[in-house]
């Protein structure tokens, strides 16, 4: 397919989409502030026109600024790395380019993809957070500035921003996508994920990066979905509760088998274990930055890393053993289901001073299976709220298929 001709007779061509995206950047970037570096429009036009054939031919791609790109700086949201140029593409970027994608620029991240909010605003309300840490990636896709974007997730940094910004977000199975030349936070948890406005585009990205064929359309009637409210359910506000009920009802109307799933005992301590693993590994991942540039780390990050110092070796080992037991318990409970429907966020995006709480994400990240955000409609304040579909490890195609069916059911 020539990217100048478009994928079908009615959809916009890649060049037409690019022109619309550039116009959206001109119109909205001063308010949204999704980007930290951008390719020149002329070079983008040339690159889209010459994009190689592949599942992402002509797709414009935003890259979170903790992921290396050959021609643009990667500053990791920190003054320590201001002006840093890696000179190489991260593996995920190289794979996307080989599949026909064109890098539009680097998107804003929280400091080292951890917790300090960046300057990016939510495209739906500039007083609200776009979520973290993949703030710019989610906001750029939601604002129509780019077709797809890469993020990373260590706790909830893909699922949560997607929900807050009203787009689709996918965290694939741990290690399905290489993290080569991606700045590490916690090696046991870090996963490259992606944002798009449609589940179909997410599936195309997943195919390009993993070789897993985009799933064929699945009728809802063929799906078996569990509704899992989780041990953290008390944190869900009225908007998230309504979103879960709305999604479950839409799937039932479409013919899916939707069953409530009782709490899984093996997951009772999973959130605690995930937190211990993340804190301990982060404290060690940033050993050099702490030793050489501690004064340039934010107070919040220094505090978090100090908490990681307090997680002793035995407590860390206990948490890792707990993670194994949790994965085994989850795998057993998932038998017979295509996916579980569970909260993605507490509710609508909170004020911009925070990136929101990953309470409904960190367990699924630690378990290592695929997780998908699907927009479920507005909350009481008119802002987006998303729900999450999760699945067993390496069941990425099944979760994406279930997500497409859920999206269609909600639209119907």
**Peptide bond preceding 133: is omega within 30 degrees of 0, i.e. cis?**
yes
Sign of CA dihedral 283, 285, 286, 287: positive
Residue 171 falls in the annotated catalytic set: no
What's the pLDDT score for residue 8? 42
Which two structure tokens, joined as six digits, stand for 349? Answer: 């995006």
Residue that is written with structure tokens 């699922």 in the block? 159
Cβ atoms < 10 Å from Cβ of 350: 17
**Average confidence (pLDDT) per 10 residues, the chain, 412 residues:** 45 95 98 98 98 97 98 98 98 98 98 96 98 98 98 98 98 98 98 98 98 88 97 98 98 98 98 98 98 98 98 98 98 98 98 97 98 98 98 97 97 92
C-alpha span between 324 and 266 (Å, rounded): 10
Q: Enter the pTM of the model.
A: 0.97
Distance of CA 109 to the CA centre of its chain: 12
Residues 407/400, Cβ–Cβ less than 8 Å: no
User: What count of residues does the chain have?
Assistant: 412
Residue 157 falls in the annotated catalytic set: yes
What's the pLDDT score for residue 10? 58
Listing DSSP states for 104-166 in one string gives: EEEEP-SGGGSSS--S--BTTBTTB---SSSHHHHHHHHTTS-SEEEEEESSSTTHHHHHHHT
Nearest to 378 by CA among 243, 268, 232, 204: 243
Residue 271 falls in the annotated catalytic set: no
What's the pLDDT score for residue 7? 41
The dihedrals phi and psi of 29, each to the nearest 5 degrees, come to -65, -30
Q: Select which of 78, 104, 133, 285 is catalytic.
A: 133
Distance of CA 373 to the CA centre of its chain: 8
Residue ranges of the chain that CATH labels 3.90.1300.10: 14-210, 220-268+319-411
What's the pLDDT score for residue 4? 44
Sign of CA dihedral 239, 411, 396, 336: positive
Kindly list the distances between the CA atom of residue 214 and the CA atoms of 56, 180, 220, 263, 391, in Å, as whole numbers in the listed order: 12, 24, 17, 32, 16
What's the pLDDT score for residue 216? 79
C-alpha span between 75 and 286 (Å, rounded): 15
Q: Select which of 78, 157, 230, 271 is catalytic.
A: 157
What's the pLDDT score for residue 356? 97
3.30.1280.10, 3.90.1300.10, 3.50.50.60, 3.40.50.150: CATH of 220-268+319-411: 3.90.1300.10
Indicate the fold that domain 14-210 takes in CATH. Answer: Amidase signature (AS) enzymes (3.90.1300)
């Amino acid at each position: 397919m020539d990217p100048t001709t478009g994928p079908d007779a009615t959809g916009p061509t890649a060049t037409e989409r690019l022109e619309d995206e550039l116009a959206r950047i001109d119109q909205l970037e001063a308010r949204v502030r999704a980007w930290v570096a951008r390719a020149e429009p002329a070079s983008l036009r040339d690159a889209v026109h010459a994009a190689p054939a592949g599942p992402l031919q002509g797709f414009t791609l935003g890259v979170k600024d903790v992921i290396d790109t050959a021609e643009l700086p990667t500053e990791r949201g920190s003054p320590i790395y201001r002006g840093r140029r890696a000179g190489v593409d991260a593996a995920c970027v190289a794979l996307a380019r080989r599949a026909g994608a064109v890098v539009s620029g680097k998107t804003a991240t929280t400091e080292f993809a951890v917790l300090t909010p960046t300057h990016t605003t939510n495209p739906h309300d500039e007083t609200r957070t776009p979520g973290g840490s993949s703030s710019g990636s989610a906001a750029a896709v939601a604002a129509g500035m780019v077709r797809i974007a890469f993020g990373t997730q260590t706790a909830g940094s893909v699922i949560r921003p997607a929900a807050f910004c009203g787009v689709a977000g996918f965290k694939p199975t741990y290690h399905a996508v290489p993290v080569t030349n991606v700045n590490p936070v916690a090696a046991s948890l870090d996963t490259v994920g992606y944002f798009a406005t449609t589940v179909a585009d997410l599936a195309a990205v997943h195919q390009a990066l993993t070789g897993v064929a985009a799933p064929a359309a699945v009728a809802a009637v063929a799906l078996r979905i569990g509704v899992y409210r989780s041990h953290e359910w008390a944190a869900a506000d009225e908007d998230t509760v309504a979103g879960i009920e709305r999604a479950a009802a839409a799937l039932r109307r479409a013919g899916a088998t939707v069953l409530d799933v009782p709490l899984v005992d093996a997951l009772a301590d999973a959130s605690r274990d995930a937190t211990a693993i993340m804190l301990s590994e982060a404290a060690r991942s940033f050993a050099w930055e702490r030793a050489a540039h501690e004064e340039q780390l934010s107070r919040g990050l220094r505090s978090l890393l100090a908490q990681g110092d307090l997680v002793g070796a035995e407590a860390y080992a206990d948490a890792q053993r707990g993670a194994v037991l949790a994965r085994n318990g989850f795998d057993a409970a998932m038998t017979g289901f295509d996916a579980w429907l569970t909260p993605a966020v507490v509710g609508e995006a909170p004020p911009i001073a925070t990136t929101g709480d990953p309470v409904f994400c960190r367990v699924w990240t630690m378990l290592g299976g695929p997780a998908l955000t699907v927009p479920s409609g507005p909350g009481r304040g008119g802002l987006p709220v998303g729900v999450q579909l999760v699945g067993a490890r390496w069941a990425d195609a099944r979760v994406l298929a279930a997500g497409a069916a859920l999206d269609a059911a909600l639209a119907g």
